[in-house]
Amino acid sequence: MSDTPSTGAKKRIFSGMQPSGEAHLGNYLGALRRWVGMQDDYDCIWCIVDEHAITAGADPASMPAMVFDLAVSYLAVGLDPEKAIIFVQSDVPEHTELAWLFNAVTPVGDLERMTQYKDKSQNLESIPAGILNYPILQAADILLYKAYGVPVGADQKQHLELTREIARKFNAAYGDTFPVTEPLIGEDVGRIVGLDGKSKMSKSLNNTVPVLSEPDDVWARVRTAVTDPQRVRRDDPGRPEVCNVYSLHAFFTDDTTRTDIETRCRAGTIGCVDCKRILSDNISDAFAPYRERARQYLENPDQVRRVLNEGAEKARVIARETLAETKQRMGLNWREALS
Ligand code: TRP
């Protein structure tokens, strides 16, 4: 699927991330880098979904800093408040109100079929309803802004299908109100595998690199990366095709150097440590402008506050309108109806 919209007015897209603090390499490669590139072509809304985070039992004491740090990462990597609306979900109460209204058209069976629901509820003795209803809030996030598309990873495809189903069901029951949103699944990157060489990159698995790390800290993480397990000694021939460090080079290292690394790895003339060093240096160099921008925001936290305040205000203008229309469709408008 192409990221190029048709000509004419820009189409609106919406996406969000849970506030788990500073963004990491997986967030960047899998999502943020693509979002940045979409900002000129689409009318973009970027959210920090803190009300989704509470379904996973997020710690209240650390939540504010998690939200703030993710906002700094958003801005540091180039999400641009001049071009896009950037805001925090809980600042716009229309999200949860619309989610409640969507309860009326969402089959419980559909919620129970979600693989993420099954995974998250698997080992719980008592399952919070929020884990089950999570995709309803996600549908509300998206449809509150009548988004045409949602750039997400393949892991969110099922939730997007449910969003589409909710839009269709609502429209059928109450009249045409919502678009049937397109999932814009990034095809250029597959699953970003973590430094452990096996699981999806994630902060909780501690197999990634925070985007704003200083070069020494990038190296401290990258040097732990798992490479070809068959390579024991430095001069053993390696197999780049099974090595995750090699696959990460694809994002950060120029073709000539990569070809050279591949040849020397196969010949056993470059060791894994040297190969990781090149990767680590290239990551640090690529992210240097982000560290600089983050530093400016961290020195002026009021700027971040201002961005999020203005973002929430702009979001609410759209949100109020959609919510009023939705309530009217559902007959929750006695005052206007009887005047
Ligand atoms: N569920 C998404 C995730 O875990 C986060 C999310 C919440 C989201 N609301 C959204 C993504 C709306 C896209 C659109 O990644």
Tokens describing residue 86? 């950037």
Pocket test for ligand 1, best of 159, 185, 192 (most atoms within 8 A of CB): 159
Tokens describing residue 60? 């209240």
Burial of 338 from C-beta contacts in 10 A (0-12 / 13-18 / 19+): exposed
> Is the Cβ atom of 18 under 6 angstroms away from ligand 1?
yes
Spans of all domains in the chain: 12-192+301-338, 215-294
Beta pairing partners, 85: 45
CA neighbor of 93 nearest in space, from 155, 27, 143, 144 = 144
> Is the Cβ atom of 15 under 6 angstroms away from ligand 1?
yes
For residue 44, report the distance from its CA to the centre of ligand 1, in Å: 14
The Cα–Cα gap between 47 and 92 comes to 10
Which pLDDT tens digit goes with each residue over 193-238?
999 999 999 998 999 999 999 999 999 999 999 999 999 888 999 9
Q: How many CA atoms lie within 13 A of 265 on its CB side?
A: 23
Does the annotation mark 120 as catalytic? yes
> Is the Cβ atom of 141 under 6 angstroms away from ligand 1?
yes
For residue 290, report the distance from its CA to the centre of ligand 1, in Å: 24
Q: Which residue has the tokens 């004419």?
A: 8
Pocket test for ligand 1, best of 46, 47, 102 (most atoms within 8 A of CB): 47
- What are the backbone angles phi and psi of residue 211, rounded to the nearest 5°? -60, -30
User: What is the number of the ligand 1 atom nearest to the C-alpha of 49?
Assistant: 7
Q: How many CA atoms lie within 13 A of 195 on its CB side?
A: 21
User: What is the number of the ligand 1 atom nearest to the C-alpha of 138?
Assistant: 9
Set 10, 146, 169, 200: catalytic member: 200
Burial of 123 from C-beta contacts in 10 A (0-12 / 13-18 / 19+): exposed
∠ CA 244-245-247, nearest 5°, is 60
The Cα–Cα gap between 323 and 22 comes to 32
For residue 142, report the distance from its CA to the centre of ligand 1, in Å: 9
The Cα–Cα gap between 218 and 208 comes to 9
Q: What is the CATH number of domain 215-294?
A: 1.10.240.10
For residue 27, report the distance from its CA to the centre of ligand 1, in Å: 12
12-192+301-338 and 215-294: identical CATH topology: no
Taking CA atoms only, the protein residue closest to ligand 1 atom 3 is 17
Does the annotation mark 198 as catalytic? no
For residue 15, report the distance from its CA to the centre of ligand 1, in Å: 6
> Contact 216/34 with Cβ under 8 angstroms?
no
CATH topology of domain 12-192+301-338: Rossmann fold (3.40.50)
What angle in degrees, to the nearest 10, is found between the helix axes of 94-102 and 129-143? 110
pLDDT tens series, the chain, 339 aa: 455 555 669 999 999 999 999 999 999 999 999 999 999 999 999 999 999 999 988 899 999 999 999 999 999 999 999 999 999 999 999 999 999 999 999 999 999 999 999 999 999 999 999 999 999 999 999 999 999 999 999 899 999 999 999 999 999 999 999 999 999 998 767 788 999 999 999 998 999 999 999 999 999 999 999 999 999 888 999 999 999 999 999 999 999 999 999 999 999 999 999 999 999 999 999 999 999 999 999 999 999 999 999 999 999 999 999 999 999 999 999 999 998
> Is the Cβ atom of 150 under 6 angstroms away from ligand 1?
yes
Which pLDDT tens digit goes with each residue over 266-279?
999 999 999 999 99
Strands lying side by side in the sheet with 182-185: 84-88, 43-48, 12-17, 149-152, 182-185
* Res 239: pLDDT: 96
Task: Name 308's Cβ contacts closer than 8 Å, sequence gap at least 6.
Answer: 71, 86, 87, 88, 91
Taking CA atoms only, the protein residue closest to ligand 1 atom 14 is 15
Set 10, 146, 203, 314: catalytic member: 203
Taking CA atoms only, the protein residue closest to ligand 1 atom 13 is 15
For residue 181, report the distance from its CA to the centre of ligand 1, in Å: 14
For residue 204, report the distance from its CA to the centre of ligand 1, in Å: 17
Set 120, 146, 169, 327: catalytic member: 120
